[in-house]
């Protein structure tokens, strides 16, 4: 089984040299620059403070695609995580193994210019700009590792539920803060349109986070999300894994999934 998020791709991985570095073209670096400079402005006052602080701590280059090594160097010092380049397709076992070792897998390709605003596959802008800043947050960093450990031991059927948990938190999670609703999900924060839509679209549902509800909610990867779950803090996510995730999966299995809020099912 391929992990759902990495199910299909038309992109191919860039090879790394003997030092683990990827040689990107001027056009690829220019695409990163355009994405980075645009999105850096959009996430202000929309991303949660922990993400924004992480973004600042990582000191990502604005004019070229960073190498995983240079991002890892900073991440290691802050939270003992690192980023490793992987092929565009990766098995669920590989994905969860890496997370369990505090290694975040990053596809090495960057989107084509014709897909600059929207693509289904996770590219390096999504992986590094979307996900890495929050890996500096200590509780979230531990949650990600625990998720990997738990999912690695889980059955294929249970992984189906765990993919939903990942989707509605790591990818598309919102968080309640004193300043108002903010974003922490990397799937949102690497998308220009969804960063605005997730907070402002009047017809999108924003429900208080419930582990059981997230496990029962189907999703589609190719549309703006019709529903988001809002956590109160990152400890909620960690506690979910520490306490009764196996029991919640069992409940979700027995209760069945909610009717989808979109046409067609994923």
- Least distance between Fe ion and beta carbon 250 (Å): 27
Binding segment for Fe ion among 71-79, 80-88, 156-164, 178-186 (CB under 5 A)? 178-186
Nearer to Fe ion, 192 or 253 (CB): 192
Per DSSP, what are the bridge partners of residue 16? none
- Least distance between Fe ion and beta carbon 122 (Å): 5
Nearer to Fe ion, 189 or 252 (CB): 189
Nearer to Fe ion, 122 or 211 (CB): 122
Contact 255, 217 (CB under 8 A): no
Distance CA 133, CA 226 (A): 25
CB-side exposure of 114: number of CA atoms within 13 Å?
0
Distance CA 222, CA 4 (A): 12
- Least distance between Fe ion and beta carbon 171 (Å): 5
- Least distance between Fe ion and beta carbon 166 (Å): 8
Distance CA 112, CA 6 (A): 18
Which residues in the 185-224 window bind Fe ion by CB under 5 A? 186
The reply to whether 122 sits near Fe ion by the rule CB under 5 A is: yes
Q: Which helix (H) or strand (E) holds 104?
A: strand 103-107
Active site (annotated) includes residue 176: no
Nearer to Fe ion, 52 or 188 (CB): 188
Active site (annotated) includes residue 171: yes
| Residue among 72, 79, 108, 126 flagged as catalytic | 126
Distance CA 143, CA 110 (A): 27
Per DSSP, what are the bridge partners of residue 206? 228
Give the pair of three-digit tokens for residue 23. 């040689």
Position with the least CB separation from Fe ion: 122
Q: Which residues bind Fe ion (CB under 5 A)?
A: 122, 186
Q: Which residues are catalytic?
A: 126, 131, 171, 190
């Amino acid at each position: 089984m391929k992990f759902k998020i990495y199910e299909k791709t038309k992109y191919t991985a860039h090879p790394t040299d003997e030092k683990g570095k990827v040689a990107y073209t001027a056009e690829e670096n220019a695409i990163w620059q355009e994405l980075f400079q645009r999105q850096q402005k959009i996430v202000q006052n929309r991303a949660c403070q922990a993400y924004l602080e992480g973004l600042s701590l990582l000191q990502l280059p604005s004019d070229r695609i960073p190498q995983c090594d240079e991002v890892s160097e900073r991440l290691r010092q802050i939270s003992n995580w690192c980023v490793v380049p992987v092929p565009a397709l990766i098995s669920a076992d590989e994905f969860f193994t890496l997370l369990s070792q505090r290694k975040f897998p990053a596809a090495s390709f960057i989107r084509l210019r014709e897909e600059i605003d929207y693509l289904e596959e996770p590219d390096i802008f999504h992986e590094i700009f979307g996900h890495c800043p929050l890996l500096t947050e200590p509780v979230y960093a531990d949650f990600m590792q625990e998720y990997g450990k738990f999912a690695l031991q889980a059955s294929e059927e249970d992984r189906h539920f765990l993919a939903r948990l990942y989707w509605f938190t790591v990818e598309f999670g919102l968080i309640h803060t004193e300043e108002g609703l903010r974003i922490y999900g990397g799937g949102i924060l690497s998308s220009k349109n969804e960063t605005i839509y997730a907070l402002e679209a009047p017809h999108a549902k924003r429900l208080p986070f419930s582990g059981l509800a997230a496990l029962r909610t189907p999703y589609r990867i190719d549309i703006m999300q019709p529903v988001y779950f809002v956590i109160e803090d990152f400890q909620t996510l960690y506690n979910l894994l520490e306490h009764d995730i196996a029991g919640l999966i069992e409940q979700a299995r027995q209760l069945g999934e909610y009717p989808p809020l979109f046409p067609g099912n994923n």
